[in-house]
Structure 1
Protein backbone atom coordinates (compact mmCIF):
# COMPACT_ATOMS: atom_id res chain seq x y z
CA UNK A 1 0.00 0.00 0.00
CA UNK A 2 3.04 2.31 0.38
CA UNK A 3 3.85 2.02 -3.37
CA UNK A 4 6.99 -0.02 -2.69
CA UNK A 5 7.98 -3.61 -3.43
CA UNK A 6 10.13 -5.41 -0.86
CA UNK A 7 12.26 -8.55 -1.24
CA UNK A 8 12.75 -10.55 1.96
CA UNK A 9 15.25 -13.19 3.01
CA UNK A 10 13.52 -16.37 4.25
CA UNK A 11 16.51 -17.91 6.01
CA UNK A 12 19.26 -16.52 8.26
CA UNK A 13 18.31 -13.06 9.53
CA UNK A 14 15.07 -12.86 7.51
CA UNK A 15 15.93 -9.29 6.61
CA UNK A 16 14.58 -7.06 3.88
CA UNK A 17 17.15 -7.55 1.12
CA UNK A 18 15.97 -4.81 -1.24
CA UNK A 19 13.23 -2.23 -1.69
CA UNK A 20 12.05 -1.25 -5.15
CA UNK A 21 10.81 2.32 -5.62
CA UNK A 22 8.97 3.65 -8.65
CA UNK A 23 5.20 3.30 -8.33
CA UNK A 24 3.06 6.26 -7.30
CA UNK A 25 0.16 4.20 -5.94
CA UNK A 26 -0.34 0.85 -4.22
CA UNK A 27 1.05 -2.30 -5.87
CA UNK A 28 -1.63 -4.85 -6.69
CA UNK A 29 0.29 -7.85 -8.10
CA UNK A 30 3.81 -9.23 -8.69
CA UNK A 31 5.07 -11.96 -11.04
CA UNK A 32 8.63 -13.31 -11.29
CA UNK A 33 10.10 -14.83 -14.42
CA UNK A 34 11.19 -18.48 -14.25
CA UNK A 35 14.76 -17.68 -13.23
CA UNK A 36 13.77 -15.03 -10.68
CA UNK A 37 16.11 -12.53 -12.35
CA UNK A 38 13.26 -10.17 -13.28
CA UNK A 39 9.76 -9.48 -12.04
CA UNK A 40 6.67 -7.50 -13.00
CA UNK A 41 4.77 -5.23 -10.63
CA UNK A 42 1.22 -4.06 -11.40
CA UNK A 43 -0.03 -1.01 -9.54
CA UNK A 44 -2.99 1.33 -9.15
CA UNK A 45 -0.97 4.11 -10.84
CA UNK A 46 -1.95 2.28 -14.09
CA UNK A 47 1.59 1.07 -14.81
CA UNK A 48 3.16 -2.38 -15.01
CA UNK A 49 6.90 -2.18 -14.40
CA UNK A 50 9.61 -4.68 -15.27
CA UNK A 51 12.42 -4.81 -12.66
CA UNK A 52 15.89 -6.30 -12.42
CA UNK A 53 15.69 -8.31 -9.20
CA UNK A 54 19.41 -8.05 -8.42
CA UNK A 55 20.09 -4.37 -9.14
CA UNK A 56 16.67 -2.89 -8.39
CA UNK A 57 16.65 -1.10 -11.74
CA UNK A 58 13.32 -0.49 -13.46
CA UNK A 59 14.02 -1.88 -16.94
CA UNK A 60 10.81 -0.77 -18.65
CA UNK A 61 7.21 0.12 -18.00
CA UNK A 62 3.92 -0.63 -19.73
CA UNK A 63 0.47 0.95 -19.58
CA UNK A 64 -2.89 0.66 -21.29
CA UNK A 65 -4.05 3.72 -19.31
CA UNK A 66 -6.23 1.42 -17.20
CA UNK A 67 -5.52 -0.15 -13.80
CA UNK A 68 -3.77 -3.55 -14.13
CA UNK A 69 -5.26 -5.92 -11.56
CA UNK A 70 -2.95 -8.84 -12.33
CA UNK A 71 0.10 -9.63 -14.47
CA UNK A 72 1.82 -12.90 -15.25
CA UNK A 73 4.82 -14.00 -17.32
CA UNK A 74 4.21 -16.75 -19.85
CA UNK A 75 5.59 -19.86 -18.08
CA UNK A 76 7.21 -21.44 -21.18
CA UNK A 77 10.97 -20.87 -21.31
CA UNK A 78 10.90 -19.82 -24.97
CA UNK A 79 8.06 -17.36 -24.30
CA UNK A 80 9.39 -15.59 -21.23
CA UNK A 81 9.50 -12.35 -23.22
CA UNK A 82 5.68 -12.32 -23.15
CA UNK A 83 3.36 -11.47 -20.28
CA UNK A 84 -0.38 -11.09 -19.92
CA UNK A 85 -2.22 -8.57 -17.74
CA UNK A 86 -5.84 -8.26 -16.68
CA UNK A 87 -7.19 -4.72 -16.42
CA UNK A 88 -10.00 -2.69 -14.90
CA UNK A 89 -11.59 -2.14 -18.33
CA UNK A 90 -12.39 -5.87 -18.71
CA UNK A 91 -9.49 -6.67 -21.06
CA UNK A 92 -6.58 -9.12 -21.02
CA UNK A 93 -3.53 -7.68 -22.77
CA UNK A 94 -0.41 -9.51 -23.93
CA UNK A 95 2.82 -7.47 -24.13
CA UNK A 96 6.25 -8.29 -25.57
CA UNK A 97 8.88 -6.97 -23.15
CA UNK A 98 11.51 -6.83 -25.91
CA UNK A 99 9.63 -4.31 -28.04
CA UNK A 100 7.30 -2.89 -25.41
CA UNK A 101 4.42 -3.43 -27.83
CA UNK A 102 1.02 -4.98 -27.28
CA UNK A 103 0.88 -8.19 -29.33
CA UNK A 104 -2.67 -9.32 -28.54
CA UNK A 105 -5.82 -8.26 -26.70
CA UNK A 106 -8.66 -10.39 -25.38
CA UNK A 107 -12.01 -8.76 -24.66
CA UNK A 108 -14.39 -11.40 -23.28
CA UNK A 109 -15.27 -10.21 -19.78
CA UNK A 110 -17.99 -7.85 -18.58
CA UNK A 111 -16.10 -6.80 -15.45
CA UNK A 112 -12.56 -6.12 -14.21
CA UNK A 113 -10.18 -9.08 -14.61
CA UNK A 114 -9.01 -10.40 -11.22
CA UNK A 115 -6.73 -13.33 -11.98
CA UNK A 116 -4.86 -15.15 -14.74
CA UNK A 117 -3.78 -18.80 -14.47
CA UNK A 118 -1.97 -20.79 -17.17
CA UNK A 119 -3.26 -24.37 -17.66
CA UNK A 120 -3.05 -27.29 -20.10
CA UNK A 121 0.78 -27.31 -20.21
CA UNK A 122 0.68 -23.52 -20.71
CA UNK A 123 -1.22 -23.77 -23.98
CA UNK A 124 -4.20 -21.93 -22.50
CA UNK A 125 -4.97 -19.61 -19.63
CA UNK A 126 -7.97 -19.16 -17.34
CA UNK A 127 -9.16 -15.74 -16.19
CA UNK A 128 -11.66 -14.75 -13.51
CA UNK A 129 -13.59 -11.53 -13.25
CA UNK A 130 -16.24 -9.66 -11.29
CA UNK A 131 -18.68 -10.74 -14.04
CA UNK A 132 -18.59 -14.30 -12.55
CA UNK A 133 -17.73 -15.95 -15.90
CA UNK A 134 -14.52 -17.91 -16.50
CA UNK A 135 -13.44 -17.85 -20.14
CA UNK A 136 -10.92 -20.46 -21.26
CA UNK A 137 -9.82 -19.75 -24.82
CA UNK A 138 -13.30 -18.52 -25.78
CA UNK A 139 -15.07 -21.35 -23.94
CA UNK A 140 -17.05 -20.23 -20.92
CA UNK A 141 -17.74 -21.68 -17.51
CA UNK A 142 -20.94 -19.83 -16.63
CA UNK A 143 -23.41 -20.74 -13.93
CA UNK A 144 -26.11 -18.44 -12.51
CA UNK A 145 -25.24 -19.64 -9.00
CA UNK A 146 -21.55 -18.69 -9.35
CA UNK A 147 -20.05 -15.84 -7.37
CA UNK A 148 -17.07 -13.64 -8.17
CA UNK A 149 -13.76 -15.51 -7.71
CA UNK A 150 -10.86 -13.04 -7.27
CA UNK A 151 -8.18 -15.62 -6.41
CA UNK A 152 -7.28 -18.86 -8.20
CA UNK A 153 -4.54 -21.45 -7.64
CA UNK A 154 -3.50 -24.34 -9.90
CA UNK A 155 -2.77 -27.59 -8.06
CA UNK A 156 0.79 -28.99 -8.11
CA UNK A 157 -0.31 -31.88 -10.34
CA UNK A 158 -1.84 -29.39 -12.82
CA UNK A 159 -5.22 -31.17 -12.68
CA UNK A 160 -7.31 -28.85 -10.50
CA UNK A 161 -8.11 -25.17 -10.10
CA UNK A 162 -8.98 -23.99 -6.60
CA UNK A 163 -11.08 -20.80 -6.76
CA UNK A 164 -11.81 -18.49 -3.85
CA UNK A 165 -15.54 -17.76 -4.14
CA UNK A 166 -17.14 -14.68 -2.60
CA UNK A 167 -19.86 -16.80 -0.94
CA UNK A 168 -17.24 -17.94 1.60
CA UNK A 169 -16.30 -21.15 -0.17
CA UNK A 170 -13.41 -22.55 -2.16
CA UNK A 171 -14.73 -24.32 -5.24
CA UNK A 172 -12.76 -26.75 -7.39
CA UNK A 173 -12.72 -27.02 -11.18
CA UNK A 174 -11.00 -29.56 -13.37
CA UNK A 175 -8.06 -27.94 -15.17
CA UNK A 176 -8.34 -30.44 -18.00
CA UNK A 177 -10.59 -30.51 -21.05
CA UNK A 178 -14.03 -29.18 -20.15
CA UNK A 179 -13.18 -27.39 -16.88
CA UNK A 180 -16.12 -28.85 -14.99
CA UNK A 181 -16.80 -27.94 -11.39
CA UNK A 182 -16.10 -30.78 -8.95
CA UNK A 183 -19.23 -30.52 -6.81
CA UNK A 184 -17.92 -33.17 -4.40
CA UNK A 185 -15.05 -30.92 -3.37
CA UNK A 186 -16.01 -27.68 -1.63
CA UNK A 187 -14.06 -26.13 1.23
CA UNK A 188 -15.84 -23.85 3.68
CA UNK A 189 -15.79 -22.42 7.21
CA UNK A 190 -13.82 -19.24 6.53
CA UNK A 191 -15.10 -15.70 5.83
CA UNK A 192 -13.77 -14.04 2.66
CA UNK A 193 -16.76 -12.11 1.23
CA UNK A 194 -15.44 -8.83 -0.16
CA UNK A 195 -11.74 -9.77 0.09
CA UNK A 196 -9.38 -11.33 -2.48
CA UNK A 197 -7.73 -13.69 0.02
CA UNK A 198 -5.27 -15.93 -1.77
CA UNK A 199 -5.00 -19.70 -1.37
CA UNK A 200 -2.31 -22.32 -1.89
CA UNK A 201 -1.74 -26.07 -2.00
CA UNK A 202 0.87 -27.89 0.04
CA UNK A 203 3.65 -29.18 -2.26
CA UNK A 204 2.47 -32.80 -1.89
CA UNK A 205 -1.18 -31.73 -2.42
CA UNK A 206 -2.29 -33.12 0.93
CA UNK A 207 -3.68 -29.78 2.11
CA UNK A 208 -5.29 -26.57 0.88
CA UNK A 209 -4.71 -23.28 2.72
CA UNK A 210 -6.46 -19.89 2.73
CA UNK A 211 -6.53 -16.65 4.66
CA UNK A 212 -9.75 -14.98 5.75
CA UNK A 213 -11.31 -11.62 6.61
CA UNK A 214 -10.94 -12.14 10.38
CA UNK A 215 -7.17 -12.59 10.12
CA UNK A 216 -7.27 -16.36 10.47
CA UNK A 217 -5.40 -18.95 8.41
CA UNK A 218 -7.30 -22.11 7.49
CA UNK A 219 -5.92 -25.48 6.35
CA UNK A 220 -8.16 -28.20 4.95
CA UNK A 221 -7.46 -31.84 4.14
CA UNK A 222 -7.55 -32.06 0.34
CA UNK A 223 -8.98 -35.59 0.13
CA UNK A 224 -11.74 -35.28 2.74
CA UNK A 225 -12.34 -31.46 2.45
CA UNK A 226 -12.52 -31.37 6.28
CA UNK A 227 -10.94 -28.52 8.22
CA UNK A 228 -7.54 -29.68 9.50
CA UNK A 229 -6.35 -26.58 11.37
CA UNK A 230 -7.04 -22.87 11.82
CA UNK A 231 -5.37 -20.15 13.85
CA UNK A 232 -5.38 -16.40 14.34
CA UNK A 233 -2.56 -15.23 12.11
CA UNK A 234 -3.14 -11.45 11.93
CA UNK A 235 -5.01 -8.64 13.68
CA UNK A 236 -6.61 -7.65 10.38
CA UNK A 237 -7.47 -9.43 7.11
CA UNK A 238 -5.13 -12.33 6.26
CA UNK A 239 -4.94 -11.44 2.57
CA UNK A 240 -2.12 -13.73 1.41
CA UNK A 241 -0.86 -17.25 2.13
CA UNK A 242 2.01 -19.21 0.61
CA UNK A 243 3.34 -22.70 1.24
CA UNK A 244 7.13 -23.15 1.35
CA UNK A 245 7.94 -25.09 -1.85
CA UNK A 246 10.61 -27.29 -0.23
CA UNK A 247 9.82 -27.41 3.49
CA UNK A 248 6.22 -28.57 3.68
CA UNK A 249 5.84 -27.71 7.38
CA UNK A 250 6.42 -24.00 6.79
CA UNK A 251 4.01 -21.36 5.46
CA UNK A 252 3.96 -17.58 5.07
CA UNK A 253 0.98 -15.32 5.72
CA UNK A 254 0.49 -11.66 4.82
CA UNK A 255 -1.97 -9.42 6.66
CA UNK A 256 -3.52 -6.00 6.38
CA UNK A 257 -1.84 -5.30 9.71
CA UNK A 258 1.32 -4.72 7.64
CA UNK A 259 3.05 -7.92 8.71
CA UNK A 260 4.49 -10.95 6.96
CA UNK A 261 4.67 -14.00 9.23
CA UNK A 262 6.68 -17.21 8.74
CA UNK A 263 5.02 -20.17 10.46
CA UNK A 264 6.19 -23.70 11.29
Structure 2
Protein backbone atom coordinates (compact mmCIF):
# COMPACT_ATOMS: atom_id res chain seq x y z
CA UNK A 1 0.00 0.00 0.00
CA UNK A 2 1.16 3.52 -0.79
CA UNK A 3 2.46 5.30 2.32
CA UNK A 4 1.33 8.79 3.22
CA UNK A 5 4.95 9.91 3.20
CA UNK A 6 5.07 9.05 -0.51
CA UNK A 7 2.10 11.23 -1.47
CA UNK A 8 2.89 13.35 -4.53
CA UNK A 9 1.16 14.95 -7.51
CA UNK A 10 1.24 11.78 -9.60
CA UNK A 11 -0.34 9.66 -6.86
CA UNK A 12 -3.03 12.28 -6.26
CA UNK A 13 -3.82 12.35 -9.99
CA UNK A 14 -4.09 8.56 -10.01
CA UNK A 15 -6.77 8.46 -7.29
CA UNK A 16 -9.82 6.58 -8.53
CA UNK A 17 -12.93 4.87 -7.22
CA UNK A 18 -12.13 1.58 -5.49
CA UNK A 19 -15.50 0.86 -3.85
CA UNK A 20 -19.09 1.99 -4.33
CA UNK A 21 -21.96 1.76 -1.84
CA UNK A 22 -25.25 2.73 -3.44
CA UNK A 23 -27.89 1.29 -1.13
CA UNK A 24 -28.75 4.53 0.68
CA UNK A 25 -32.36 5.66 0.70
CA UNK A 26 -31.40 9.33 0.69
CA UNK A 27 -28.47 11.73 0.60
CA UNK A 28 -25.48 11.12 2.86
CA UNK A 29 -25.35 14.24 5.00
CA UNK A 30 -22.24 13.59 7.12
CA UNK A 31 -19.30 11.20 7.38
CA UNK A 32 -16.33 10.80 9.69
CA UNK A 33 -13.20 8.66 9.92
CA UNK A 34 -12.02 7.35 13.27
CA UNK A 35 -8.67 8.85 14.23
CA UNK A 36 -6.88 5.58 15.02
CA UNK A 37 -9.09 2.70 13.81
CA UNK A 38 -9.72 1.93 10.13
CA UNK A 39 -13.40 2.81 10.34
CA UNK A 40 -15.77 5.23 8.64
CA UNK A 41 -19.25 6.23 9.83
CA UNK A 42 -21.98 7.87 7.76
CA UNK A 43 -25.35 9.42 8.54
CA UNK A 44 -27.94 9.93 5.85
CA UNK A 45 -31.40 11.24 5.08
CA UNK A 46 -32.84 7.72 5.25
CA UNK A 47 -32.28 7.92 9.05
CA UNK A 48 -29.45 5.38 8.91
CA UNK A 49 -26.05 5.30 10.60
CA UNK A 50 -23.58 2.97 8.86
CA UNK A 51 -20.16 1.66 9.85
CA UNK A 52 -17.53 0.66 7.28
CA UNK A 53 -14.20 -1.13 7.56
CA UNK A 54 -11.92 0.94 5.34
CA UNK A 55 -9.20 -1.69 4.97
CA UNK A 56 -11.53 -4.23 3.37
CA UNK A 57 -14.15 -1.74 2.11
CA UNK A 58 -16.95 -3.64 3.80
CA UNK A 59 -20.17 -2.38 5.33
CA UNK A 60 -19.93 -3.60 8.94
CA UNK A 61 -23.22 -2.46 10.45
CA UNK A 62 -26.35 -0.40 9.74
CA UNK A 63 -28.71 1.01 12.35
CA UNK A 64 -31.86 3.04 11.73
CA UNK A 65 -33.01 5.95 13.87
CA UNK A 66 -36.54 6.70 12.72
CA UNK A 67 -37.57 8.61 15.84
CA UNK A 68 -34.75 11.15 15.83
CA UNK A 69 -33.17 10.82 12.39
CA UNK A 70 -29.44 11.08 11.69
CA UNK A 71 -27.97 14.42 10.70
CA UNK A 72 -24.42 15.43 11.73
CA UNK A 73 -22.17 12.66 13.05
CA UNK A 74 -18.69 12.21 14.51
CA UNK A 75 -16.73 9.44 16.19
CA UNK A 76 -15.85 9.57 19.86
CA UNK A 77 -12.52 8.06 20.89
CA UNK A 78 -14.11 4.63 21.20
CA UNK A 79 -14.29 2.93 17.79
CA UNK A 80 -17.90 1.80 18.22
CA UNK A 81 -19.36 5.01 19.68
CA UNK A 82 -20.51 8.17 17.92
CA UNK A 83 -22.23 11.46 18.61
CA UNK A 84 -25.15 12.05 16.27
CA UNK A 85 -27.46 15.05 15.92
CA UNK A 86 -31.20 14.68 15.46
CA UNK A 87 -33.56 16.13 12.87
CA UNK A 88 -36.97 14.68 13.85
CA UNK A 89 -39.25 15.40 16.84
CA UNK A 90 -37.01 18.19 18.04
CA UNK A 91 -39.80 20.38 19.42
CA UNK A 92 -41.25 17.53 21.43
CA UNK A 93 -38.16 16.05 23.06
CA UNK A 94 -35.36 18.58 22.80
CA UNK A 95 -33.04 15.60 22.24
CA UNK A 96 -30.89 17.36 19.68
CA UNK A 97 -27.77 15.23 20.32
CA UNK A 98 -27.30 11.55 21.14
CA UNK A 99 -24.30 9.54 22.26
CA UNK A 100 -24.73 6.18 20.54
CA UNK A 101 -23.10 2.80 21.01
CA UNK A 102 -23.04 1.03 17.66
CA UNK A 103 -21.83 -2.16 19.36
CA UNK A 104 -25.19 -2.90 20.97
CA UNK A 105 -27.33 -0.23 19.26
CA UNK A 106 -28.02 1.74 22.45
CA UNK A 107 -28.33 5.43 23.18
CA UNK A 108 -25.92 6.03 26.05
CA UNK A 109 -26.90 9.65 26.68
CA UNK A 110 -29.08 12.48 25.37
CA UNK A 111 -27.80 16.04 25.33
CA UNK A 112 -30.50 18.70 25.64
CA UNK A 113 -30.19 22.46 25.41
CA UNK A 114 -30.22 23.55 21.77
CA UNK A 115 -33.41 25.12 20.43
CA UNK A 116 -32.76 24.58 16.71
CA UNK A 117 -31.09 21.97 14.50
CA UNK A 118 -27.40 21.24 15.08
CA UNK A 119 -25.36 22.01 11.94
CA UNK A 120 -21.79 21.45 13.15
CA UNK A 121 -20.08 18.91 15.43
CA UNK A 122 -16.47 18.50 16.51
CA UNK A 123 -14.94 16.00 18.96
CA UNK A 124 -11.86 16.95 20.97
CA UNK A 125 -8.87 14.82 19.92
CA UNK A 126 -7.55 14.65 23.50
CA UNK A 127 -10.47 14.17 25.90
CA UNK A 128 -14.22 13.53 26.18
CA UNK A 129 -15.25 17.07 25.26
CA UNK A 130 -17.12 17.88 22.08
CA UNK A 131 -18.77 20.97 20.59
CA UNK A 132 -21.98 21.57 18.71
CA UNK A 133 -23.03 24.58 16.66
CA UNK A 134 -26.75 25.17 16.13
CA UNK A 135 -29.10 27.31 14.06
CA UNK A 136 -30.19 28.76 17.42
CA UNK A 137 -26.99 30.88 17.13
CA UNK A 138 -25.20 29.12 19.95
CA UNK A 139 -22.18 26.87 20.40
CA UNK A 140 -22.35 24.42 23.28
CA UNK A 141 -19.45 22.55 24.86
CA UNK A 142 -20.26 19.11 26.26
CA UNK A 143 -18.61 16.22 28.07
CA UNK A 144 -19.60 12.70 27.03
CA UNK A 145 -19.77 11.68 30.69
CA UNK A 146 -22.27 14.35 31.74
CA UNK A 147 -25.75 15.23 30.50
CA UNK A 148 -25.50 18.94 31.27
CA UNK A 149 -23.90 21.45 28.92
CA UNK A 150 -20.44 22.50 30.17
CA UNK A 151 -20.32 25.86 28.43
CA UNK A 152 -22.19 28.00 25.93
CA UNK A 153 -21.23 30.74 23.47
CA UNK A 154 -23.91 33.03 21.97
CA UNK A 155 -23.04 34.24 18.49
CA UNK A 156 -24.43 36.01 15.45
CA UNK A 157 -25.67 33.81 12.63
CA UNK A 158 -25.02 30.15 11.93
CA UNK A 159 -21.97 28.91 13.89
CA UNK A 160 -19.50 26.31 12.64
CA UNK A 161 -16.98 24.72 15.00
CA UNK A 162 -13.72 22.77 14.88
CA UNK A 163 -10.97 21.70 17.27
CA UNK A 164 -7.38 21.84 16.10
CA UNK A 165 -5.52 18.53 15.90
CA UNK A 166 -3.89 19.00 19.32
CA UNK A 167 -7.14 19.89 21.09
CA UNK A 168 -5.61 23.10 22.47
CA UNK A 169 -7.56 25.55 20.31
CA UNK A 170 -10.99 25.60 18.76
CA UNK A 171 -12.35 27.82 16.02
CA UNK A 172 -15.86 29.19 15.67
CA UNK A 173 -17.03 30.73 12.42
CA UNK A 174 -19.97 33.13 12.50
CA UNK A 175 -21.89 35.71 10.52
CA UNK A 176 -19.96 38.13 8.35
CA UNK A 177 -16.95 35.91 7.72
CA UNK A 178 -15.54 36.24 11.25
CA UNK A 179 -13.46 33.35 12.65
CA UNK A 180 -12.85 33.42 16.40
CA UNK A 181 -10.13 31.31 18.04
CA UNK A 182 -10.49 30.13 21.64
CA UNK A 183 -8.16 28.42 24.08
CA UNK A 184 -10.10 25.22 24.81
CA UNK A 185 -8.95 25.31 28.47
CA UNK A 186 -10.16 28.87 29.11
CA UNK A 187 -12.78 29.61 26.45
CA UNK A 188 -14.86 31.46 29.06
CA UNK A 189 -12.33 34.31 28.81
CA UNK A 190 -13.38 34.93 25.21
CA UNK A 191 -11.51 34.56 21.93
CA UNK A 192 -7.77 35.22 21.88
CA UNK A 193 -7.87 36.10 18.18
CA UNK A 194 -10.39 36.98 15.48
CA UNK A 195 -9.88 36.68 11.72
CA UNK A 196 -12.02 38.23 9.00
CA UNK A 197 -12.34 36.57 5.61
CA UNK A 198 -12.52 39.79 3.65
CA UNK A 199 -14.95 40.15 0.77
CA UNK A 200 -17.13 37.11 1.51
CA UNK A 201 -19.98 37.40 3.98
CA UNK A 202 -21.50 34.00 3.19
CA UNK A 203 -21.92 31.66 6.15
CA UNK A 204 -19.13 29.19 6.78
CA UNK A 205 -20.51 25.63 6.73
CA UNK A 206 -17.26 23.76 7.49
CA UNK A 207 -13.88 24.38 9.16
CA UNK A 208 -10.90 22.06 9.24
CA UNK A 209 -7.40 22.43 10.69
CA UNK A 210 -4.42 20.78 9.01
CA UNK A 211 -2.66 18.10 11.07
CA UNK A 212 0.33 20.37 11.67
CA UNK A 213 -1.97 23.14 12.95
CA UNK A 214 -0.57 25.67 10.50
CA UNK A 215 -3.52 26.01 8.15
CA UNK A 216 -7.29 26.25 8.27
CA UNK A 217 -9.76 25.37 5.56
CA UNK A 218 -13.12 27.15 5.36
CA UNK A 219 -15.99 26.16 3.11
CA UNK A 220 -18.89 28.61 2.69
CA UNK A 221 -22.53 28.11 1.82
CA UNK A 222 -21.94 29.73 -1.59
CA UNK A 223 -19.30 27.08 -2.42
CA UNK A 224 -16.16 29.11 -1.87
CA UNK A 225 -13.16 27.44 -0.21
CA UNK A 226 -10.52 29.46 1.65
CA UNK A 227 -7.09 28.40 2.84
CA UNK A 228 -5.95 30.47 5.83
CA UNK A 229 -2.83 30.68 7.93
CA UNK A 230 -4.05 29.40 11.30
CA UNK A 231 -1.68 31.69 13.21
CA UNK A 232 -2.48 35.08 11.70
CA UNK A 233 -5.55 34.52 9.53
CA UNK A 234 -3.77 35.47 6.31
CA UNK A 235 -5.59 34.17 3.27
CA UNK A 236 -3.20 31.80 1.47
CA UNK A 237 -5.62 30.79 -1.24
CA UNK A 238 -9.22 30.95 -2.36
CA UNK A 239 -11.08 28.58 -4.66
CA UNK A 240 -14.53 29.25 -6.14
CA UNK A 241 -16.38 26.04 -6.84
CA UNK A 242 -19.38 25.74 -9.16
CA UNK A 243 -22.66 26.07 -7.33
CA UNK A 244 -25.40 23.48 -7.35
CA UNK A 245 -28.98 23.98 -6.24
CA UNK A 246 -29.68 22.81 -2.68
CA UNK A 247 -26.17 21.39 -2.29
CA UNK A 248 -23.20 22.59 -0.26
CA UNK A 249 -19.76 21.12 -0.70
CA UNK A 250 -16.98 19.99 1.61
CA UNK A 251 -13.22 20.34 1.33
CA UNK A 252 -10.48 18.40 3.10
CA UNK A 253 -6.73 18.40 3.79
CA UNK A 254 -4.56 15.39 3.12
CA UNK A 255 -2.98 14.14 6.39
CA UNK A 256 0.45 15.47 5.38
CA UNK A 257 -1.01 18.94 4.80
CA UNK A 258 0.36 19.12 1.25
CA UNK A 259 -2.95 19.01 -0.61
CA UNK A 260 -6.50 20.32 -0.44
CA UNK A 261 -9.36 18.44 -2.11
CA UNK A 262 -12.80 19.92 -2.66
CA UNK A 263 -16.09 18.86 -4.14
CA UNK A 264 -17.81 21.13 -6.64
CA UNK A 265 -21.19 21.71 -8.19
CA UNK A 266 -19.75 20.58 -11.53
CA UNK A 267 -19.57 17.01 -10.20
CA UNK A 268 -15.77 16.98 -10.00
CA UNK A 269 -13.28 16.72 -7.14
CA UNK A 270 -10.61 19.39 -7.45
CA UNK A 271 -7.16 18.98 -5.87
CA UNK A 272 -4.49 21.63 -5.19
CA UNK A 273 -0.91 21.32 -4.03
CA UNK A 274 -0.60 24.00 -1.31
CA UNK A 275 3.10 23.71 -0.43
CA UNK A 276 3.88 27.21 -1.67
CA UNK A 277 1.36 28.95 -3.90
CA UNK A 278 -1.72 26.73 -4.31
CA UNK A 279 -1.49 24.95 -7.67
CA UNK A 280 -4.26 22.86 -9.23
CA UNK A 281 -2.92 19.34 -9.79
CA UNK A 282 -6.03 17.26 -10.50
CA UNK A 283 -9.68 17.40 -11.48
CA UNK A 284 -11.31 14.03 -10.81
CA UNK A 285 -14.77 13.05 -12.05
CA UNK A 286 -16.70 12.12 -8.89
CA UNK A 287 -19.08 9.76 -10.79
CA UNK A 288 -21.75 10.46 -8.14
CA UNK A 289 -22.93 13.96 -9.03
CA UNK A 290 -22.10 16.71 -6.53
CA UNK A 291 -20.03 15.21 -3.67
CA UNK A 292 -21.48 17.03 -0.67
CA UNK A 293 -19.37 15.04 1.83
CA UNK A 294 -15.62 14.66 1.38
CA UNK A 295 -12.97 13.60 3.88
CA UNK A 296 -9.47 12.15 3.63
CA UNK A 297 -8.67 9.18 5.88
CA UNK A 298 -6.31 10.24 8.70
CA UNK A 299 -3.81 7.37 8.26
CA UNK A 300 -4.32 6.16 4.69
CA UNK A 301 -3.83 7.25 1.09
CA UNK A 302 -7.59 7.16 0.71
CA UNK A 303 -10.55 9.50 0.79
CA UNK A 304 -14.32 9.09 0.88
CA UNK A 305 -16.80 11.11 -1.16
CA UNK A 306 -20.56 10.91 -0.93
CA UNK A 307 -23.81 12.24 -2.34
CA UNK A 308 -26.65 9.71 -2.28
CA UNK A 309 -23.87 7.22 -3.05
CA UNK A 310 -20.68 6.61 -1.03
CA UNK A 311 -17.35 6.05 -2.78
CA UNK A 312 -13.90 5.09 -1.49
CA UNK A 313 -10.97 6.47 -3.51
CA UNK A 314 -7.50 4.91 -3.60
CA UNK A 315 -4.43 5.21 -5.86
CA UNK A 316 -4.98 3.42 -9.14
CA UNK A 317 -2.02 1.08 -8.55
CA UNK A 318 -3.61 -0.09 -5.27
CA UNK A 319 -6.47 -1.93 -6.97
CA UNK A 320 -8.06 -4.43 -6.72
CA UNK A 321 -7.90 -4.01 -2.93
CA UNK A 322 -6.59 -1.84 -0.14
CA UNK A 323 -5.27 -4.87 1.73
CA UNK A 324 -7.48 -7.75 0.69
CA UNK A 325 -9.66 -7.77 -2.43
CA UNK A 326 -13.28 -6.97 -2.89
CA UNK A 327 -13.00 -3.24 -3.40
CA UNK A 328 -14.67 -3.10 -6.78
CA UNK A 329 -17.96 -4.73 -5.92
CA UNK A 330 -21.05 -2.54 -5.62
CA UNK A 331 -23.11 -2.96 -2.48
Q: TM-score over 0.5 for the alignment? A: yes
Q: Report 1:12-27 matches (<5 A).
A: 13-27=14-28
Provide the secondary structure at the position in 1 that maps to 2:110.
strand
- CA distance in 1 between counterparts of 2:254 and 2:18 reads 19
Q: Which runs of 5+ in 1 are unaligned?
A: 1-9
CA contact under 8 A between 2:158 and 2:203: conserved in structure 1?
A: no
Q: Does 1:259 align with 2:277?
A: no
Q: What's the CA shift string for 1:99-126, capped at 9, x where partnerless?
A: 1111211111101112222237222211
What is aligned with 2:30? 29
Q: What runs of 5+ residues in structure 2 fail to find an aligned partner?
A: 1-10, 143-148, 274-331
Which digits, 9 at most, give the CA deviation of each residue in 1:133-186, with x for residues without a partner? 22223133233x53221x322112322112232332222222224454325322
- The reply on whether 1:163 has 2:165 as its aligned counterpart is no
Q: Report the equivalent of 1:141.
A: 152
Q: For the structure 1 residues 194 and 262, does the alpha-carbon distance in structure 2 shift closer, same or farther, using more than 3 Å as the test?
A: same
- CA shift in 2, pair 1:64/1:161, >3 Å: farther
Rounded to whole Å, the distance in 1 between the matches of 2:125 and 2:187 is 11
CA–CA separation in structure 1 for the residues paired with 2:64 and 2:131:
22
Once the two structures are TM-superposed, the CA of residue 250 in structure 1 deviates from its matched residue by 1.4
Going from structure 1 to structure 2, the CA distance change for 1:156 and 1:170 (only over 3 Å counts) comes to same
User: What TM-score do you get using the length of structure 2 for normalisation?
Assistant: 0.66
- TM-score w.r.t. the length of structure 1 is 0.82
User: Higher strand proportion, which one?
Assistant: 1
SS at match of 1:69: coil
Count of residue pairs the alignment pairs up: 247
1:121 aligns with 2:126: yes
How far apart, CA to CA, are the structure 1 residues paired with 2:258 and 2:34? Answer: 26
- The whole-number CA distance in structure 2 between the counterparts of 1:112 and 1:167 is 21
Matched, 1:209 2:211: no
Per-residue Cα deviation, 1:198-251 (whole angstroms, up to 9, x for no partner): 22223332322223345433222233223233243x2227732212211x3311
Change over 3 Å in CA distance of 1:120–1:35 after alignment to 2 = closer
Q: Within 5 Å, give how 1:240-251 maps onto structure 2.
A: 240-246=250-256, 248-251=257-260
> What pairs up with 1:97-108 in 2 under 5 angstroms?
97-108=102-113
